[in-house]
Structure 1
Amino acid sequence: MWNPDVYLAFADHRGRPFFDLIGRVRAESPRRVVDLGCGPGNLTATLAQRWPDAALEAVDSSEEMVAAARDRGIDAVVGGIAEWTPKPDTDVVVSNAALQWLPDHRAIVTRWASELAAGSWIAFQVPNNVELPSHRAMREVACRPEFAEPLRDMPWRQGNSVEPPESYAGALTDAGCAVDAWETTYVHQLTGDTPVLDWITGTALTQVRSRLTDDQWESYRQAMIPVLAEAYPMRPDGTTFYPFRRIFVVARVG
């Protein structure tokens, strides 16, 4: 289960990559704009502000996130990104920090390029975080005897589903798109006693939480605290720097 309140605790930090992504989409008067993996809808709402005349379509696999988006006035629906297909009037498809959950997402975005009309835009951003100390700590703690059984089938044990930016650029170029792809490391300055743990609790650890009992979850969190404190020491001013890499792709269908 996704918790919109926990996710939005870092709304400013999580929103910046979205705006960096959308800033490269040059669509002027799109008929339909789609947000796949819309989350709680706080960023989806800005798409309606930028393109007020466009039909806005929002999809997320989490019922909790869809409910939060609807509370913001977004007509979101529960659905899977892999099963989604564009309506004929779709001119912009956006997916912000969602495709990494799908191991075959390069094939999915390439399919979109074949289904969208010429001149349409595809824009997505995925975190490239599997080798970050925070995510290595997730895996290391998950392998401890008390957690090994309930967490044995975690998808991040199978490796990184995210590919280098040139891989996406090559696939979409071969599909007839003009592609802009890049990678950025954001250095987030966080506050709080356990800021990195709080950050990943709202995203990467959601699947861990769903597999553990309340007592196991509390034990897991406690085991993570000293590991993360060593990897991300608190500064004298009480803040913690959390470097976070993200891959961006913006493609215009030819």
Structure 2
Amino acid sequence: MKIGTDSVLLGAWASIEKIPLSVLDIGAGTGVLSLMLAQRCCAELIDAIEIDDNAFEQCVDNFEQSPWGDRLFCYHASLEEFIEEIEDKYDLIICNPPFYSEDYKTKSDQRDLARFQDAMPFEHLLKSVSKLLSENGIFSVVIPYKEETGLISLASNFNIYPNNILHVKGNPTSNIKRSLVEFSFRAVPAGRQESAIKIDELIIEIARHQYTEAYKSLTKDFYLKL
């Protein structure tokens, strides 16, 4: 299965400065995020959740063939089922949620929004994260840029607040396409939330297949050729 740029960016960008001992990958797909975190950090426990049959089988196979198979485990379950069974808390939670491409458009804005929310139920995701994240843990996610404000607003309902944001552009003249957002439970002083957030920008290409030095520096450990 094809590995998307979103996953590569998130797997390389997610902070491990706090030296997480446990990692959870929500909606693991083929397991690329879990594998990247296994390569980057020494977490003894790296769990993944995947509900799709084919993706789950591919994920398990990839885990077994990796050098870190003893630290990786994939649950074939929905997020709801996982929460009911697991009492563990995780120091790092990562998620590249499913969402429809911005290229998908109908003549109805309301229908587009409903279709998007069906693919990626923010509230369910954030509520689940609030239950699974350790007190000093970090939640890192990649989303379409246009959903950033709504996600941050909704997260505050669960006492989850943004620390760092990375805005991603395909090339120097294109619009911001993706937002990578890092959340935590940290208390945000009243009136200081916006100023407390670190916001960076990353441009992927100068021209087609001519990657920027910033992109290569971030992702070089995960490509055979770049």
* Alignment TM-score, normalising by the size of structure 2: 0.57
Q: Does 1:245 align with 2:173?
A: no
User: Relative to structure 1, is the Cα distance of residues 242 and 83 closer, same or farther in structure 2, using a 3 angstrom cutoff?
Assistant: farther
How many Å apart are 1:119 and its aligned residue? 0.5
User: Relative to structure 1, is the Cα distance of residues 27 and 171 closer, same or farther in structure 2, using a 3 angstrom cutoff?
Assistant: farther
**Number of the residue aligned with 1:36:** 26
Q: Distance in 1 between matches of 2:140 and 2:181?
A: 6
Residue number among 110, 113, 122 corresponding to 1:105 in the alignment: 122
Show structure 1 runs of 5+ residues with no match: 129-162, 189-240
Counterpart amino acid of 2:87? K
Residues 91 and 136, structure 2, Cα contact 8 Å, conserved in 1: yes
Query: Aligned runs of 1:10-159 on 2, under 5 Å?
Result: 11=4, 13-19=5-11, 21-22=13-14, 24=15, 26-28=17-19, 30-72=20-62, 73=64, 74-85=72-83, 87-98=87-98, 102-127=119-144
Q: Does 1:177 align with 2:168?
A: no
**Worse overlay, 52-61 or 74-83:** 74-83
Structure scoring higher RCO (CA < 8 A, sep ≥ 6) equals 1
Residues 31 and 89, structure 1, Cα contact 8 Å, conserved in 2: no
Q: Distance in 2 between matches of 1:98 and 1:63?
A: 15
Percent identity over the alignment? 13
Counterpart amino acid of 2:27? G
User: What is the Cα-based RMSD across aligned positions, in Å?
Assistant: 3.1
Q: Distance in 1 between matches of 2:50 and 2:159?
A: 28
Q: Distance in 2 between matches of 1:88 and 1:178?
A: 21
Q: Distance in 2 between matches of 1:64 and 1:112?
A: 25
Q: Does 1:187 align with 2:187?
A: no
User: Relative to structure 1, is the Cα distance of residues 243 and 79 closer, same or farther in structure 2, using a 3 angstrom cutoff?
Assistant: farther
User: Relative to structure 1, is the Cα distance of residues 83 and 124 closer, same or farther in structure 2, using a 3 angstrom cutoff?
Assistant: farther
Q: Deviation string for 1:19-60 (max 9, x for gaps)?
A: 3541x45431x2321111111123321211223232111111
Q: Deviation string for 1:165-199 (max 9, x for gaps)?
A: 122222323433341364634427xxxxxxxxxxx
Residues 58 and 76, structure 1, Cα contact 8 Å, conserved in 2: yes
Q: Distance in 2 between matches of 1:114 and 1:77?
A: 18
Counterpart amino acid of 2:181? V
Q: Distance in 2 between matches of 1:181 and 1:53?
A: 22
Q: Distance in 2 between matches of 1:111 and 1:77?
A: 16
